[in-house]
Chain A
Amino acid sequence: MPASECAGDDEMAGHPFKGRLMVAKRPISCKTRTMKKLINDVNDVVTDSLFGMEAAHSDLIAVDHPNKVIYRLDAPVADKVGIVSGGGSGHEPLHGGFVGYGMLDAACAGEIFTSPVPDQVYAATKLVDGGRGVLHIVKNYTGDVMNFDMAAEMAGADGIRVEAVVVDDDVAVQDSLYTAGRRGVGLTVLLEKIVGAAAEEGKDLDYIAALAKRVIANGRSMGLALSGCTVPAAGKPSFELADDEIELGIGIHGEPGRSKEKLGPASDMAEKLVRPILDDLDYRGSEVIAFVNGMGATPLIELYIMYNEVVKILEAEGIRVVRSLVGNYITSLDMAGCSVTLLRSDDEMVHLWDAPVATAGLRWGR
């Protein structure tokens, strides 16, 4: 629906009061869609936010502002494999919020929903190389893959060994052959934690790259939205939903999903997210790390309701949840909704999940 129309218009068709002054039945959906955000200037959103992040977490990180690279205060860490990720901004705390001890060494912040450019990733790679090579964690989007590829070539020309892994956990993308392939979504958070811990323990680049691929092979995600999100530069919501509609199978960039469906109770919504995951990968008899993620505008109280429903489904299927994470960790600006990620875990993954971490977004054991 174009932004100039409103969901309530049809209800008024043929109404005797149509066109006369009256209190609108659904005033919210008919409001002028003026963007309402706490920003200074649409062009300075990423820049201003990085200054704030650096000020708030000066015990953990510093920021190379010209390159928009967030890095560990103690980078490069000698004799440790460097872990670099990055992507478009607008998914906070991903990725910058996961820079610090036991997780990422550096994160490159692109423009909102736009992958970072090769210069940024190259600068980050040089910054964190402690002599044992660097792992690039790339979410599977056309732009991200191309820009990280170019950066890896540039770093390689400098003699820095780079391995890249591409996260593609989103089961909503069904026809991988005729699309850009599955998107990288919630699993990215679990992956960054697990490989970051392995790097902290001194594992080498080959080991860490193989571990990352094992995590990617064993994790799947699915998300839904209750609303679109508003990119500051666009000024309008990415898509419109009626009051009783959800968008099922969304990514993390405000793009519409697999289908529009009716909103139902949380138990039904959990089914719509968990079932496609279980249909895609055989979780029977396995232990999982379960992650219910908020898209940015859904309160934690609803995320816990969803988590409860997810656990009920998993228990009924004989799948045991050994670790969990609930909260807003990979968001899509002000989108309302959530995603579910299930990682079939082994003892090593759980051990690395439990290892100490000190970042703005995740912190325990240290």
Chain B
Amino acid sequence: MAIDQAALGAWLADFADQIHQGADQLTDLDREIGDGDHGSNMDRGMKAVAALDPNDFASGADYLKKVGMTLVSTVGGASGPIYGTFFLRLGAAWSSVNDAPTLGLALRAGLDGIQQRGKATTGDKTLVDALSPAVEAYDKQADQGISTALAAAAGAAEAGRDATIPMVAHKGRASYLGERSAGHQDPGATSMTMLLEAAAKHLS
């Protein structure tokens, strides 16, 4: 097993911390093109996740599934089902993760789950614009090991996040603004980038 439960716990504790510290920034971004609650909703959900002890679970898979259910039950809005589905799918794929390429398959399963649930594709100005290039960048570097591949994924997520700025939103609440949604960074892509940056720091 390449990644133990303690490492998963450290990853998500760091993400919870990033979300908490960035909650105002996320909320401000969401106020521009949404309804101004992404920061507070994610903060509520990740506090509940951080309260879970990864060692209470029989396996990393069980822990990740519980993380998913916790997010579905506490975040609300679209972010709850979307982030929740990511972790549920990651958890479902976790038992076969034992090296860098199989972690890549699990991340892709998470991305596929998000796209099924939210029907978003790249270019719609959503968190898929951060996660999708991150998964691709990961796969290209997967033969270099988990650390290198995750660093590449985090870098691609950052670029993807920044690329949402000029985009016109086609999904979610920002889509109602049409052209007026251009010029603003997507809050979901911003939080997703935090998740991948934290992964690059703690998973290897």
Contacts and interface: CB of A to CB of B under 8 A. Distances in A.
A173 interface: yes
A111 B117 contact: no
Contact of A147 (B41, B80, B118, B176): B80
B81 A150 contact: yes
A180 B175 contact: yes
Nearest to B124: A178
B66 to A, nearest CB: 14
Contacts of B168: 178
Given A238-B31, A254-B36, A117 B73 contact: yes
Contact of A256 (B76, B171, B180): B180
Interface in A241-282: 251, 253-258
B178 interface: yes
A255 B78 contact: no
Given A142-B171, A238-B36, A254-B36, A111 B76 contact: yes
A112 B37 contact: yes
Interface string B70-84: 001111111111100
Nearest to A141: B173
Contact of A236 (B31, B170, B180): B31
Contacts of B73: 117-119
A110 interface: yes
A45 B41 CA distance: 14
Nearest to A90: B35
Contact of B175 (A119, A178, A254): A178
A117 B35 contact: no
B13 to A, nearest CB: 22
Chief secondary structure at chain A's binding surface: loop
A47 to B, nearest CB: 13
A256 B78 contact: no
B176 A143 contact: no
Interface string A90-122: 000000000000000000001111111111000
A73 B76 CA distance: 26
Given A111-B37, A231-B36, A233-B40, A117 B76 contact: yes
A116 B176 contact: no
B173 A255 contact: yes
A178 B173 CA distance: 12
Contacts of B34: 255
B89 to A, nearest CB: 14
A4 interface: no
Interface in A53-106: 88
Contacts of B75: 117
Nearest to B174: A255
Nearest to B178: A175
A183 B177 CA distance: 12
Interface in B22-44: 27, 31, 33-37, 40-41, 44
Given A180-B172, A231-B37, A255-B176, A117 B78 contact: no
A125 to B, nearest CB: 16
Nearest to B33: A255
Given A234-B31, A251-B176, A143 B77 contact: yes
Interface string A226-240: 000001011010100
18 contacts: A112-B37, A113-B37, A114-B37, A114-B77, A115-B78, A118-B72, A142-B78, A143-B77, A150-B72, A172-B176, A174-B178, A178-B175, A179-B169, A179-B171, A179-B176, A234-B27, A238-B31, A255-B33
